[in-house]
Amino acid sequence: MAGIIDLILSIIFYPPIYQLVLVGLTGSLVVVIFIIWFERKATARVQRRLGPYHIAPRLAGLPQLVADLIRYAFQEVIIPRTADRELFVLAPIVATVLSILPIAVVPLTSNPAYWPIPMDYSILVALALTTVSPIFLIVAGWASNNKFSIIGGVREAFVITAYEMIAIMSILSASAAVLTFNLVEIVEAQRIWYILLNPIAFLAAFLSVLMATSGFPFEIPESENEVVAGPFTEYSGLLYGLNMGAAYMKRFAFSILMVLVFLGGWSPYTPGEGILSGYLIPSLIVVAKAAILMMIFSLTRSIYGRFRLDQALEGAWRLVFPMAVLGFGLALLEAYLGVM
Amino acid sequence: MSVWVYGEQKSELGLEGTITRKIEEDLYEVFIGPQHPGSGHMRIIIRIDGDIIVEADPDMGYVHRTMEKLAEGREWIKNVPLFERMAIQDACNVTVSYIIALERILDIEPPPRAKYLRTLLCEINRIAAHLYGFGIFGVFIGHSTMYMWSFADREVMVELAERLTGARLTHSYPIPGGARKDIPQDFPQAARKAVRYFRRRLEEYRKIFLDNPVTRKRLEGVGIIPKKIAAELGVVGPVARASGIKYDARLAEPYDAYDEVEFEVPVFEEGDALARAWVKFEEIKQSLRIIEQAVDWLERHPREAPIHDRFWAKSPPLWKKVFEAEGRVKLLPLMANMKLPPGRAMARSETARGEIIYYVESDGKSTPYRVRIVSPSARNAIVFKYIAPGYKVMDLPTIYGSIDYFPPEADR
């Protein structure tokens, strides 16, 4: 009996399966449901409304998004005759899967038994994987064969070129400070959280993640009042739901990466031996920190409108990019002085 | 035909620069509307080169209801509920000048109490309409908080109007020679409370919207209408006043109690979207001042029937009893199929979106011979065609929201 349980546990906690399916797919779904609920509730509070309420008033409308998802799941998926059928269907699915892929390669514990891949170049691999999924949003816009979708896709392309460099520079500044590409070593090196040592890089990373996931001052590709829903204009039903969810899943993946790099990962806890203390608890700490970070991301919605495309790009290249370079320079200085 | 030069728009904004020309093949033609979240009941056909609008063609008329023709088949007084449908949150402002035109044909002047009552409702309506405009403007540039706030706060003004008239939106309040209802006893307190509330809220609006760095960046220098061009295009209302033209029908030709109350007409010189937002913001403040003054006046002066003696003297005793009991002027039966003497009159009033003009012609029957309406949104729609080219696609909602274009009013 104990053998069977051990077998099941070892299958569940086989790192690639655990991180991709449990943390990546299920965990991100749960976090996203909670975050969207939180975002709507926080915005509603600022705007003097109730927000989601009528589905389970005792839970303050928490399962609202579950209800929405069920509705999306049973809605008819309409594929326009003029659309490129295969790409139209594939693009949102691939984008969603790819957007959680970075979670499968980051360490959620310092215990080598529970690393999904060898960790020597893990920060590079994770960053590289974050850059894959946006392409499929452009593909979705192109395959829709709709003017609004194409304009939205082109805007997405502009925004990608603006934020990717910043995200990579600012997150890699940690590896410059610690002189390693190993995420575990970066986490372990943070006696003081890296956000305190290099707030400039954190701010740049924060802004780039907002841009990457259409967070509010940068909600440009889907800007409703010019391009309807941007690349997703022609989508309906589950495919639309996937498209919308993909942005939040991507934000979750970025948040986990940022937690590992800037916020000390599993920091107050020291992972030990065994599944419970070596894997489950540290990974939950990381996910909880990522959720808190996402809550902060979602507060911008009620404060800001959206920038114009050229203003966002100008801000990214003229302000945030130098900030990321400065953060990188600060990291090099810290490495030279041996702060970390 | 001059070639349009991008970026030269601000200095060279002349009407000859934007003559409609043959569509070049590499331009992208996008139909914004009528089924579009950012269009309202209209269509704007834009041709874009990259991200820059080269041509914009406002295609109006989707909610045209032949109001002028319908008016010819209805009795004089029954046209009021019809014209209110142009801008329901601005009901008193858009109909008061029709009533004034009728009064001019009848050659009567309403009693001062009725004038103050109308002015009061006009200003309540103006605030409600400006808040509506602010809400739409907010959601156009992605600021959902402004949208929710102003739509929620508009409710305060709508309820104030309900206390005064009995109806939330289409009040049908002014009638030839007077107004339909006197203020209820507790109205002054409620009005002063609302004014205090709004003074506080406006400060918060300024902080979250007008002084928000993101909003400022979006609005500053967008959709600039220089003073000369504004005069040539013939724009009215806040759009003209934001371009430095001090024109307001309330000043040009004071009607009702506007020559007795104190108020300022805010004028800004910049002529961009931000200036237009500020004009509306400052106008709300001035409207609050007028509401206070009107309420004070109404409280100080004795209650009397707010209708001209010519009608009131002829009314049956029951009507007078109803007025004494409820403060309500029951619509006189003689007014329903009243015949106006032959004649013609023109009147104008300042609605929230600008000056509205009525030309009314009577041939002695119980229905109008002709009613011509020139509504402010119809005059402001020209901004799309001549001002939008040269700006980015994302500036189109900014321009749209800032001129507060309202299709039902423009299409009539």
Annotated domain spans of chain A: 2-337
**Structure confidence by residue, pLDDT tens digits, B64-91:** 888 888 988 888 888 888 998 888 888 8
Q: What residues of A are in contact with residue B149 (Cβ under 8 Å)?
A: 47-48
| A161 shares contact with chain B (CB less than 8 Å) | no
Residue of chain B whose Cα is closest to the Cα of A221: B394
- What local confidence, expressed as pLDDT, does residue B25 receive? 65
> Taking 60 as the threshold, does the pLDDT of residue B221 lie above it?
yes
pLDDT at residue B17, rounded to an integer? 45
For residue B395, list chain A residues with Cβ-Cβ distance below 8 A.
Answer: 308
Sequence spans of domains, chain B: 67-411
Specify the pLDDT at position A25.
81
Per-residue pLDDT, B124: 92
B347, B100 contact by CB (below 8 A): yes
Average pLDDT estimate for A264-285: 81
- More confidently predicted of A117 and A260: A260
- Report, as an integer, the average pLDDT of B15-29: 58
Give the closest-approach CA distance of B141 to chain A in angstroms: 6
Residue numbers in B near A303 (CB within 8 A): 145, 208, 212
Question: What is the predicted pLDDT for the residue at A226?
Answer: 78
The shortest CB-CB distance from B145 to any of A47, A148, A311 is to A47
pLDDT at B3 > cutoff 60: no
Residue-level pLDDT at B127: 92
Cβ distance of B142 and A216 shorter than 8 Å: yes
Q: How sure is the predictor about B34, in pLDDT bands with cuts at 50, 70 and 90?
A: confident
Task: Sort residue A265 into left (φ over 0), alpha (ψ -120 to 50) or beta.
Answer: left
Contact B142 A49 (CB under 8 A): no
User: What average pLDDT does chain B have?
Assistant: 85
- pLDDT category at B4 given cuts 50, 70, 90 is very low
Query: What's the rounded mean pLDDT across residues A62-87?
Result: 85
Residue contact B37–A224, C-beta within 8 A: yes
In this complex, how many residue pairs, one in chain A and one in chain B, have their CB atoms less than 8 Å apart?
83
Identify the band that residue A325 occupies on the pLDDT scale cut at 50, 70 and 90.
very high
Q: Tell me if B141 and A305 make a contact (CB, 8 A cut-off).
A: yes
Structure tokens at A311: 């203003």
Whether residue A148 is predicted with pLDDT greater than 50 in this model: the reply is yes
How far is the CA of B314 from the CAs of A284, B290, B310, B317, B322, in angstroms?
84, 33, 7, 9, 15
Residue A202 DSSP SS3: helix
Contact assessment for residue A163 and residue A127, using Cβ atoms and an 8 Å cutoff: no
Chosen for mutation from A145, A220, A304 (greatest number of chain B CBs closer than 10 Å) is A304
> Which one of B37, B139, B142 has the shortest CB-CB distance to A219?
B142
pLDDT(B395) > 70: yes
Q: What are the tens digits of pLDDT across the range A157-209?
A: 888 888 888 999 899 888 888 888 888 888 888 888 888 888 899 999 999 99
**Selected residue with higher pLDDT from B36 and A122:** A122
Average pLDDT over residues B300-304: 83
Q: Which residue of A has its CA nearest to B151?
A: A47
If pLDDT is split at 50, 70 and 90, which confidence band does A29 have?
Answer: confident
Q: How far is CA A30 from CA A26, A37, A58, A194, A288, in A?
A: 6, 11, 19, 28, 11
Q: Which CATH superfamily is domain B67-411 in?
A: Cytochrome-c3 Hydrogenase, chain B (1.10.645.10)
Residues of B near A (Cβ–Cβ under 8 Å) read 28, 30, 32, 36-38, 51, 138-146, 148-149, 152, 208, 212, 214-215, 217-218, 392-397
In chain B, residues with a C-beta closer than 8 Å to the C-beta of A46 are: 145
Q: Do A308 and B392 touch (CB under 8 A)?
A: yes
* pLDDT band (50, 70, 90) for residue B10: very low
What pTM was computed for the model? 0.85
CB contact (8 A) between residue A305 and residue B138: yes
Give pLDDT, residue A204. Answer: 92
The yes-or-no verdict on residue B23 having pLDDT over 70 is no
Angstrom distance (rounded) from CA B401 to CA A76: 34
Confidence at A115, pLDDT banded by 50, 70, 90? confident
Nearest chain A residue to B208 by CA: give it. A303
**The predicted structure's pLDDT at residue B130:** 92
Under a CB-based contact definition with an 8 Å cutoff, are residues B412 and B373 in contact? yes
> Which residues of A are less than 8 Å from B146 in CB distance?
305
* Strand-pair partners of A228: none
- In this prediction, residue A247 carries a pLDDT of 84
CA dist A319 and B50 (Å) reads 24
CB contact under 8 Å between B143 and A311, yes or no, is no
**How far apart are the CA of B108 and the nearest CA of chain A, in angstroms?**
48
Give residue B14's pLDDT band: very low, low, confident or very high (50, 70, 90): low
Whether B144 and A47 lie within 8 Å, measured CB to CB: yes
Lowest mean pLDDT among A83-87, A231-235, A332-336, B19-23: B19-23
B11 pLDDT higher than 70? no
Q: Across residues A119-139, what is the average pLDDT?
A: 87
Taking only Cα atoms into account, the Rg of chain A, rounded to an integer number of angstroms, comes to 20
Share of chain B above pLDDT 90, in %: 17
CB contact under 8 A, B215 and A305: yes
Distance from CA of A302 to the nearest CA of B (A): 6
Residue A38 near residue A293 (C-beta atoms within 8 A): no
Contact between chains at A225 and B217 (C-beta distance less than 8 A): no
Query: DSSP label at B75?
Result: -
Q: Do A47 and B149 touch (CB under 8 A)?
A: yes
C-beta of residue A230 within 8 angstroms of C-beta of residue A149: yes
Chain B hits for A151, Cβ within 8 Å: 28, 30, 393
What pLDDT does residue A326 have? 92
